[in-house]
C-alpha cells in the first residue's frame, strides 16, 4: 500500500509539474437526489414531487434575497459534475479541495455572490456533524495546517476593509452581511491552492492560488441549513473565483454551467461557448455587478407578449420570480391557455397558478420562451412543476413562477436543459439546449454518467445549506419576499467522479 501511495503521489506531482494554464471544472449536486439520500444514509423528508417538496425549495429562495440590477477549460479536481441539492435549496453544489494537505468542502455555487468562503478556525460555525446530516461529516480549514497557506495583508488590492486594519501588514478582515435572517460570514482573507483538473486530452491536476474567506464566525442561516460548508462566489467582482482564475492566467475569463433536468449538471471554467449558441449582451452596472440581461418580449403558447424588462440570471435562485407588469402579463396569458381546471394543490406552495390533472392524466401546458435583447430566444424547457402524492402519482401541476417586488430573477428552473455561458470577457450571456451528460465539442467534457456515486473523502459530505444571495439592494431598494413554509428536507447528492479524482483522493491519504 505504501509503495502504491508513493507511486500515486509521484504521478500526481508529475501531473502538477506538467500542467500549463488550461481549463478546469467540477461536479455539482442537488440535495434531494436519490444518490445523495443514499450517500447520506437518509430517506426522510418530503418525497420528491409533493407539494411539501416544492414548498421547501421555494422557502429557501426569494425571502433571502435583495438584488441590484446590475486558454483551455478546467474543472474542480473532483470533476466538473454539479448536483442540485434540494435540502439546501433547489441549487447546485460541487466538491472543492483546498490546501496542502488538501481538505475537501461541499460548496454552493452562486452567480449572485462574489467571495468564496469556507468554515475555518471556527469561533462560531455550523456543526461538523448532525442528525440532520445523516451519515455525513464536514471538515474545516485551518491556515496553520496547510503548508501552502498565506495571509492576505491589508495592503492587498482585494482587501475591501482596510479601514479596519491596524497596519498594512495585518491580515485583511472580511465581513459579508447577507439580506437573509441576519445571516453573515466574517473572518480574514487567506490564499491557498485550489485543486483543478484539465478538461481535455489527458487529465492533469492543476493547482491555482486562490484568495478566499477563512470564515471564523457565521450567523443566522449559515448556522443551520444555509451553507454550513461554504459558498463559492461566481459573480463578476474581482474577488470571485472566475475573476481570480482569469487574472492569474489559469483560464479565459468565462465559464459555463449546464443545468440538467434531473439535477445533474456541469461547470467548466474557461468555457467560452460555441458558435451555435444563442446570446445576448450583459448589462454592466459597476457598483452592483450581476449577470443582468434585457428581455424584449415573451411568447406564451400562441400569444406574443410585448414587454421589456431586465433580469438577473441567478444560479442561487430556485424558481424564477418576476415583478409586475411582467409577472401578470405572462401568468395571465399562461392561465388563459391552460385547459385544465385551476386548483389549490397545497396551502404552502408559493405558486399562484396551479391546476389539477385531467382525467386522461396528460399534462400539456403552453410553451414559454423569452426574447432577449438582440433577438435571441431563451427557451424555457420546463416552466411547470408536477405535484405528486407520496406514491408518485400526479395530482396536478403549477407554473413555477413567483411574484416579486422590484427585482426580476431568472432562476434555475428556467435554465433547466440549457448550458449557460457566462462570458465575462465579451460581456455576453450565451445558451444552448444541451444534454449535461454529453460531450460538447466546445467544452470537451469528460463525462461518465454511469460512474458510481462515491465521495472523494468518506468523512466529507453535504449538509442542508442554502446558498445565499449577494449582498446589496435591488434597483429601487425593495426586497423580495415569499412565504416561508415549514419544511423538513432530505438530502440528495449525485456524484460523478472520474479517474483523476481517484488519484487526488489517494494523495490525500
Partnered with residue 433 across adjacent β-strands are: 418
Rg (CA), the chain: 22
* CA dihedral angle for residue 378, residue 348, residue 352, residue 478, rounded to 10 degrees: -70
> 504 exposed, middle or buried (CB, 10 Å; 0-12, 13-18, 19+)?
buried
Residue 110 falls in the annotated catalytic set: yes
C-alpha cell at 84: 442540485
Catalytic residue chosen out of the listed positions 110, 114, 192, 271: 110
Residue with cell 401546458: 365
The answer to whether 476 and 177 are in contact (CB under 8 A) is no
Task: Please tell me the distance from the alpha carbon of residue 482 to that of residue 183, in angstroms, as a whole number.
Answer: 17
Question: At 164, is the secondary structure helix, strand, or coil?
Answer: helix
Listing DSSP states for 37-77 in one string gives: HHHHT---SSPTTSHHHHHHHHTTSGGG--------BEEET
Residue 209: partners with Cβ closer than 8 Å, 6 or more residues away: 191, 192, 193, 194, 248
> 301 exposed, middle or buried (CB, 10 Å; 0-12, 13-18, 19+)?
middle
Catalytic residue chosen out of the listed positions 61, 314, 423, 440: 314
Question: At 280, is the secondary structure helix, strand, or coil?
Answer: strand
> How does strand 205-219 pair with strand 117-124?
parallel
Task: Please tell me the distance from the alpha carbon of residue 220 to that of residue 183, in angstroms, as a whole number.
Answer: 4
* CA dihedral angle for residue 329, residue 334, residue 337, residue 341, rounded to 10 degrees: -120
Residue 27 falls in the annotated catalytic set: no
DSSP letter assigned to residue 235: S
Partnered with residue 178 across adjacent β-strands are: 183
Catalytic residues: 110, 314
Amino acid at each position: 500500500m505504501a509503495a502504491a501511495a508513493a507511486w500515486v503521489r509521484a504521478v500526481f506531482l508529475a501531473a502538477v509539474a506538467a500542467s500549463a494554464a488550461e481549463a478546469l471544472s467540477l461536479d455539482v449536486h442537488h440535495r434531494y437526489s436519490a444518490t445523495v439520500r443514499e450517500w447520506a444514509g437518509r430517506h426522510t423528508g418530503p418525497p420528491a414531487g409533493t407539494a411539501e417538496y416544492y414548498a421547501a425549495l421555494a422557502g429557501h429562495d426569494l425571502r433571502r434575497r435583495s438584488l441590484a440590477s446590475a486558454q483551455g477549460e478546467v474543472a474542480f479536481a473532483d470533476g466538473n459534475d454539479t448536483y442540485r441539492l434540494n435540502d439546501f435549496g433547489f441549487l447546485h453544489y460541487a466538491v472543492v479541495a483546498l490546501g496542502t494537505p488538501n481538505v475537501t468542502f461541499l460548496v454552493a455555487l452562486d452567480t449572485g455572490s462574489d467571495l468564496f468562503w469556507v468554515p475555518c478556525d471556527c469561533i462560531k460555525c455550523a456543526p461538523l456533524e448532525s442528525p440532520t446530516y445523516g451519515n455525513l461529516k464536514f471538515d474545516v480549514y485551518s491556515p496553520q495546517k496547510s503548508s501552502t497557506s498565506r495571509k492576505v495583508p491589508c495592503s492587498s488590492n482585494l482587501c475591501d476593509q482596510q479601514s479596519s486594519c491596524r497596519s498594512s501588514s495585518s491580515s485583511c478582515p472580511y465581513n459579508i452581511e447577507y439580506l437573509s435572517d441576519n445571516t453573515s460570514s466574517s473572518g480574514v482573507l487567506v490564499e491557498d491552492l485550489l485543486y483543478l483538473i484539465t478538461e481535455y486530452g489527458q487529465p492533469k491536476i492543476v493547482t491555482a492560488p486562490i484568495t478566499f474567506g477563512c470564515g471564523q464566525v457565521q450567523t443566522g442561516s449559515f448556522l443551520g441549513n444555509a451553507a454550513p460548508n461554504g459558498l463559492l462566489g461566481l459573480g463578476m467582482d474581482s474577488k470571485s473565483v472566475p475573476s481570480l482564475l482569469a487574472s492569474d492566467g489559469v483560464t479565459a475569463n468565462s465559464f459555463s454551467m449546464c443545468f440538467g433536468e434531473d439535477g445533474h449538471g456541469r461547470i467548466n471554467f474557461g468555457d467560452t461557448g460555441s458558435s451555435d449558441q444563442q446570446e445576448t449582451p450583459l448589462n454592466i452596472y459597476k457598483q452592483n455587478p450581476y449577470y443582468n440581461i434585457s428581455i424584449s418580449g415573451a411568447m406564451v403558447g400562441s400569444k406574443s407578449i410585448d414587454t421589456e424588462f431586465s433580469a438577473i440570471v441567478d444560479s442561487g435562485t430556485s424558481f424564477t420570480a418576476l415583478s409586475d407588469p411582467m409577472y401578470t402579463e405572462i401568468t395571465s396569458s399562461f392561465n388563459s391557455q391552460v385547459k385544465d381546471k385551476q386548483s389549490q394543490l397545497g396551502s404552502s406552495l408559493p405558486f399562484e397558478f396551479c391546476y389539477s390533472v385531467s382525467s386522461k392524466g396528460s399534462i400539456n401546458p403552453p410553451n414559454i420562451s423569452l426574447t432577449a435583447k438582440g433577438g435571441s430566444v431563451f427557451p424555457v424547457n420546463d416552466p411547470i412543476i408536477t405535484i405528486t402524492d407520496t406514491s408518485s402519482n400526479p395530482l396536478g401541476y403549477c407554473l413555477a413562477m413567483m411574484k416579486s417586488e422590484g427585482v426580476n430573477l431568472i432562476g434555475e428552473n428556467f435554465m433547466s436543459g440549457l448550458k449557460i455561458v457566462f462570458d465575462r470577457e465579451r460581456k455576453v450571456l450565451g445558451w444552448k439546449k444541451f444534454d449535461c451528460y454529453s460531450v460538447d465539442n466546445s467544452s470537451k467534457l469528460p463525462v461518465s454518467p454511469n460512474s458510481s456515486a462515491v465521495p472523494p473523502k468518506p468523512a466529507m459530505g453535504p449538509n442542508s445549506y442554502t446558498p445565499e444571495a449577494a449582498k446589496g439592494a435591488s434597483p429601487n431598494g425593495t426586497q423580495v419576499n415569499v412565504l416561508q413554509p415549514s419544511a423538513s428536507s432530505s438530502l440528495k447528492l449525485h456524484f460523478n467522479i472520474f479517474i483523476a479524482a481517484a488519484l487526488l483522493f489517494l494523495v490525500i491519504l
